[in-house]
Amino acid sequence: MKRTFLGNAILTLVVTAALRAAVTAETSNTLKLQPRFRIESPKDSGKYRIVYKTVEWEAKQTAIIICDMWQRHWCDGAVRRGAEMAPRMNEFVGEARRRGVLIIHAPSGGMNHYSDHPARRRAQAAPKAANLPKGIGRFCSQIENEKKGTWPIDQSDGGCDDQPRCPDRPNDVHQTNAIAIHSEDAITDSGVECWNLFEQRGIKNVVLVGVHTNMCVIGRPFGLRNMVRCGKNVVLVRDLTDTMYNSRKAPYVRHVRGTELIVEHIEKLVCPTVTSSSLLGGPAQRFKQDDRPHVAIIVSDDHYHADKTLPQFAEELRAKYGCYCTVIHGEGTNRFPAMDELKAADVAVLFIRRLALPKGQLDVFRSYLDAGKPLVALRTASHAFAARGKGIAGHVQWRNFDAEVLGGNYHGHGPNAAGCDVSIVPEHANHPIFAGFEPAEWHSSGSLYYTSPVNKDAPILLTGSAGDRMEPVAWTRHYKKARVFYAALGHPSDFQQPQFRTLLVNALFWAMDKPVSEAVGAKTP
């Protein structure tokens, strides 16, 4: 029997739906995360470099523990911040549950509230594990690796920012209603019961969310330290947590910065961290009180080691200039999983080389610029999206990005060994990008980029010379309504030059149309 046009169309729809379902079934049982590690330098004890590395975990071998997300906390400030996090946290665990992750709700001290709940009975009914680790039932105040570091904040007063100090919490302890508890979940505040569930289900990977990072999240029997100590693969979701830190105490930084310092300590000495964007997409969760400028750094591995220099530079932006920084890391590939962070960024830094991006990711970047948001581009950004070789299905290029957006004309470079001598163009010596800038001339180990002639609407701020050849090295311009700064600098040794780092800081604040003097700073007002 011949198929009709309608019959063929229906068959096509059915097959397409089946294929989509198969793909969903195949991918939904895997979690692709991008943990941020801090690895101690083997040559320089006490110094750490930041590394991003994608990992894939089987959902069925993974548990998420929600720590102490109480409906009511004794500190009002903590309640407010918890209420801000809870909707995103509910989405995060909901997506993980859909993929097959075990969700464990751990509102410590609130087990009586859930005595008849099937999720509570599930935790109690798990068979006793034959290999219960020593100390799994107790609070853990430190693991061996932490002896190498120093606790970064003073929490001696309990950590509440509110003045006067808030009263004690109410007697009825239970989890916030903003986070749904499903019948297939588990409820427990016991490290032993958690371990029993892990052994029953073959759980190898543990994700922690909740409060508070510097107390319960890290130290509870089911917390980060015990999970690491007992051999699980562990990550903290750094945008779905908070600290109990009083900014009137050492090191006298804003509350959000205090949380970052704890996260840095954890990444160095306990376990890596991820953001909720790894499952949900979109920008990471931020508290309303966090009004710091958002710097999004787009970087991938290349022969200028931008994947090492720029994440470290982001640390300086956080600590000295009060910036909130996101690193959108490609890990040497042409995929940038966190590209959605651009949607919430105040300024973007671009340092990638000859990559064709998935169309959706390049569209996010184009939309960012079309919205009039500023860009600071470094060195190989002039040929960021001009890939060599055969194209990749679903990936697109932007070959005229240099001329169209940056106003440049990159066409090669000089000998690598020669480097170049960099000088400020005298007529622009008073440009705000050169505020606090010394000296006016220096040597860069990076080869001289051939960039001339640049667009006539791009005033040249720096020139470079090698032998008898001189080229534009840095300039500004506008792309549509977006402020753009480009510098053909960014060799690893450039980041060791104070004047280059000053140039980069000033360029970021110029691009945002803010003087550096108005930076929020790491210190409290």
Number of domains within the chain? 2
Looking at 230, 245, 280, the residue that finishes a domain is 280
48 assigned to some structural domain:
yes
CA dihedral 89, 90, 92, 94 (to 10 degrees): 160
| 251 lies in the same domain as 299 | no
- State the Cα–Cα distance between residues 269 and 254, nearest whole angstrom: 23
Predicted model pTM = 0.91
CB atoms under 10 Å from CB of 230, counted, come to 19
CB atoms under 10 Å from CB of 210, counted, come to 31
CA distances for 316 relative to 6, 180, 319, 324, 325, angstroms: 63, 39, 5, 11, 10
CA distances for 82 relative to 19, 76, 87, 255, angstroms: 40, 10, 9, 14
The SS3 assignment for 150 reads coil
DSSP code at position 344: G
Q: In the numeric block, which tokens belong to residue 42?
A: 């083997």
The SS3 assignment for 425 reads coil
pLDDT of residue 9: 41
Could you identify the residue written with the tokens 């950590």?
159
56 assigned to some structural domain:
yes
| 336 lies in the same domain as 265 | no
289 assigned to some structural domain:
no
CB atoms under 10 Å from CB of 166, counted, come to 17
Q: Give the CATH number for residue 407.
A: 3.40.50.880
CB atoms under 10 Å from CB of 458, counted, come to 20
| 429 lies in the same domain as 344 | yes
- State the Cα–Cα distance between residues 266 and 268, nearest whole angstrom: 5
Give every CB contact of residue 294 below 8 A, 6+ residues apart in sequence: 323, 324, 325, 326, 344, 345, 346, 347
Per-residue pLDDT of 116-132, as tens digits, reads 999 999 999 999 999 99
pLDDT of residue 223: 98
- State the Cα–Cα distance between residues 489 and 314, nearest whole angstrom: 17
The SS3 assignment for 27 reads helix
43 assigned to some structural domain:
yes
| 332 lies in the same domain as 240 | no
| 375 lies in the same domain as 422 | yes
pLDDT of residue 60: 97
| 204 lies in the same domain as 323 | no
Cα atoms in the 13 Å half-sphere on the side-chain side of 163: 3
Could you identify the residue written with the tokens 């055969």?
390
The number of residues in the chain equals 525
Per-residue pLDDT of 328-377, as tens digits, reads 999 888 889 899 999 999 999 999 999 999 999 999 999 999 999 999 99
Which of 177, 140, 164, 175 lies closest to 76 in space, CA to CA?
A: 164
9 assigned to some structural domain:
no
Q: Give the CATH number for residue 151.
A: 3.40.50.850
| 183 lies in the same domain as 311 | no
- State the Cα–Cα distance between residues 495 and 516, nearest whole angstrom: 19
| 202 lies in the same domain as 332 | no
pLDDT of residue 19: 36
Which of 169, 276, 151, 267 lies closest to 215 in space, CA to CA?
A: 151
| 254 lies in the same domain as 326 | no
Task: Annotate 382-411 with DSSP letters as a single string.
Answer: GGTT---SS--TTEE--TTHIIIII-----
333 assigned to some structural domain:
yes
What does the longest C-alpha to C-alpha distance in the chain come to? 85
| 326 lies in the same domain as 435 | yes
Tens digits of pLDDT across the chain (525 residues): 333 433 444 333 333 343 333 333 344 689 999 999 999 988 777 889 999 999 999 999 999 999 999 998 889 999 999 999 999 999 999 999 999 999 999 999 999 999 999 999 999 999 999 999 999 999 999 999 999 999 999 998 889 988 877 776 666 789 999 999 999 999 999 999 999 999 999 999 999 999 999 999 999 999 999 999 999 999 999 999 999 999 999 999 999 999 999 999 999 999 999 999 999 999 999 999 999 999 999 999 777 899 999 999 999 999 999 999 999 999 888 889 899 999 999 999 999 999 999 999 999 999 999 999 999 999 999 999 999 877 788 899 999 999 999 999 999 999 988 899 999 999 999 999 999 888 889 999 999 999 999 999 999 999 999 999 999 999 999 999 999 999 999 999 999 999 999 999 999 999 999 988 766 554 554
Range of the domain at 102: 30-280
5 assigned to some structural domain:
no
- State the Cα–Cα distance between residues 115 and 382, nearest whole angstrom: 62
| 266 lies in the same domain as 364 | no
225 assigned to some structural domain:
yes
Looking at 228, 247, 280, the residue that finishes a domain is 280
- State the Cα–Cα distance between residues 377 and 397, nearest whole angstrom: 17
pLDDT of residue 21: 39
| 319 lies in the same domain as 448 | yes
Which of 348, 352, 453 lies closest to 410 in space, CA to CA?
A: 453
Looking at 280, 310, 326, the residue that finishes a domain is 280
